[in-house]
Amino acid sequence: MRGLACVLMFQTHCYDSWLGGTARQSRFFMYSQLGGTFPAPLFLFLAGISFALVTEKLRAKHLAPGQIARSTIRRGAEIFGFGLLFRVQEYVIAWGWAPKSDLLRVDILNTIGLSMMLMGVMCWIVLQPCGADAPVGEDSVAADVGAPSLSRSLRQGWNSRTTLIIAAAVTSLLISLLTPLLWTTWRLRFLPWPIESYIDGVHNLGTPQAWLFPIFPWTGFAFAGLAVGFILQSPWARAGETRVFLSLGAAGVGLVGLSRWLDAQPRQLYPVYDYWHTSPQFFLIRVGMLLVIVTASYAWCRWGLAQSGFSPLMQLGQASLLVYWVHIEFVYGRVSILPKHAVGIGTASAGLLTITLAMLGLAYVRTHMKGRGADMLAWILRRPARAS
C-alpha cells in the first residue's frame, strides 16, 4: 500500500509542478489532482496500522502501558523531528526566495509524527486500567476452545483490544465531525498562527489552507488505520484472514454509499459546507476507499503478481520516507528536472516516468545495501586470527 501511495504521490506532484498553459486547465490535470487526494490519507492510514502492530508486540512482552506509551510516543516525536528537519532543508535549498514562514509549514511528516504521539496517548489512556496484560493471542484462544477459560480470554480481549478498536474508531469519527467547525465558526484565532496552523492549516495567510496537513481532519485517517490494525491483530481475524479482508472491502463500499447518501440530503449540519476539504462525507468516502485498497492489496499479495517475485510497488513501499524526501527536490526544488508550470502532458509524463524509475532504483539500492556498510566496517576492523 505504501508503494501505491508513492506512485500516486509522484504523479500528483509531477503534474502539479510541471504542467502549464492549457494543460493545466485540462480535465487530465483535474483527474491527476483528484488522485492526489489519496497519498496523504494512505500514508496516515498505514501509520495507524503499523502503530497497532507495534503496540501489540510491546503488549505481548508484558510491558506496562506507560512503557508502551513512552516507546511509541518517542517514535512519533522522531518522525515529527524529521518533518522539522525536512522543512529546514527545503528552506536552505530555496535560500533567497523562500519566506521564513516556510520553516513552520505543517507538512505531512509533521502530521504523521503528531498522529503517532496522539495515538500513543490514546492507547495509554485505554490500557492504563488494564495494567500490563498481554493481548489474547491466536494460540491461546485456539488452546482454550471448548475449555471453561474461553470466556475469560474473550473478556480479556474485550477489556483491551476491543476497547482500543472502539476508542480509535470513535476518535477518528470525532475528528472528522469537528473539522468543519474548527475551520470556520470555531476557529482558535487567539492562538499564534504557527500553533493554530496545526489545528486548521491557517499558516500565516489568515484563512485555512487546503494544501496543508493539520490535525483536523488528517489525523482522523491515522486513527481509522489504528482501528483496522487492531482488528487485523485479533485472534478471530487471524483465524479467518481472507474473510476479514473481504469484509473490510465490503465495509469500505458501504461507507462510500453512506457518504454519497449523506451528501445528497437537503439539510446540512454545518453553517459552512465544503465537501472537498472539510466535510465528514468526503472523509467517509476516502476511508471507504482506503478499506477497498486494503482488500485489493491483500488480494494482490495473496493471489496477484506480488507472488511472482520482484514487485516495484513493494520495493517503493520499503523506502517510502526516503523516496518522498528525495523526489521533492527533483520535482519542486531548484534541481527540478523540468521547468515548472511550462510543459505539456507528454513531456510531464516522460518526466514522471523518469522520476518513478529513479526512485525505484533508489529504493532498491536502499533496501539491498541496508546493513552491508556496517558488515563491511566490522570485517575491516576485525582482528586477524593469531597463528597457532
Lowest mean pLDDT among 237-241, 318-322, 367-371: 367-371
pLDDT digits (tens, 9 = 90+) for 209-251: 988 999 999 999 999 999 999 999 988 888 888 899 999 999 9
> Residue 119 domain-assigned?
yes
**Closest by Cα among 279, 359, 368 to 11:** 359
> Residue 273 domain-assigned?
no
User: Cell for 40?
Assistant: 496523504
Q: Are residues 52 and 115 in the same domain?
A: yes
> Residue 219 domain-assigned?
yes
Q: What is the pLDDT of residue 177?
A: 96
pLDDT digits (tens, 9 = 90+) for 262-280: 999 888 889 898 998 899 9
* Residue 386, pLDDT above cutoff 50: no
Q: Are residues 54 and 86 in the same domain?
A: yes
Q: What is the pLDDT of residue 234?
A: 87
> Residue 205 domain-assigned?
yes
Say if residue 248 is exposed, middle or buried (CB neighbours under 10 Å; 0-12, 13-18, 19+). Answer: buried
172 within 8 A of 220, measured Cβ to Cβ = yes
Q: What is the pLDDT of residue 130?
A: 64
> Residue 293 domain-assigned?
no
Beta carbons within 8 Å of 65's beta carbon, 6+ residues apart:
123, 124, 127, 128, 130, 131, 132
> Residue 138 domain-assigned?
yes
> Residue 113 domain-assigned?
yes
pLDDT bucket at 95, cuts 50 / 70 / 90? confident
Q: Are residues 345 and 363 in the same domain?
A: yes
Characterise 384 by phi-psi region: left (phi > 0), alpha (psi -120 to 50), beta (else).
beta
Q: Are residues 115 and 217 in the same domain?
A: yes
Q: Are residues 182 and 86 in the same domain?
A: yes
Q: What is the mean pLDDT of residues 59-68?
A: 90
Beta carbons within 8 Å of 25's beta carbon, 6+ residues apart:
none
pLDDT bucket at 370, cuts 50 / 70 / 90? low
| Structural domain range at position 137 | 40-143+150-241
Separation CA 84–CA 351 (nearest Å): 28
Domain final residue, candidates 241, 274, 289: 241
Residue of higher predicted confidence among 318 and 150: 318
Coil/strand/helix, residue 19: strand
CA distances for 290 relative to 5, 22, 187, angstroms: 11, 32, 29
Q: Are residues 237 and 109 in the same domain?
A: yes
Domain final residue, candidates 209, 241, 273: 241
For the chain, the domain total comes to 2
Q: Are residues 64 and 7 in the same domain?
A: no
Q: Are residues 71 and 157 in the same domain?
A: yes
Domain final residue, candidates 241, 271, 305: 241
> Residue 224 domain-assigned?
yes
Q: Are residues 188 and 111 in the same domain?
A: yes
Lowest mean pLDDT among 29-33, 83-87, 111-115, 342-346: 29-33
325 within 8 A of 281, measured Cβ to Cβ = no
Q: Are residues 89 and 52 in the same domain?
A: yes
Give 196-262 as a 3 state SS string: HHHHHCCCCCCCCCCCCCCHHHHHHHHHHHHHHHHHHCCHHHHHCHHHHHHHHHHHHHHHHHHHHHH
Q: Are residues 200 and 78 in the same domain?
A: yes
Q: Are residues 196 and 64 in the same domain?
A: yes
* Residue 131, pLDDT above cutoff 80: no
Separation CA 73–CA 40 (nearest Å): 21
Q: What is the pLDDT of residue 80?
A: 95
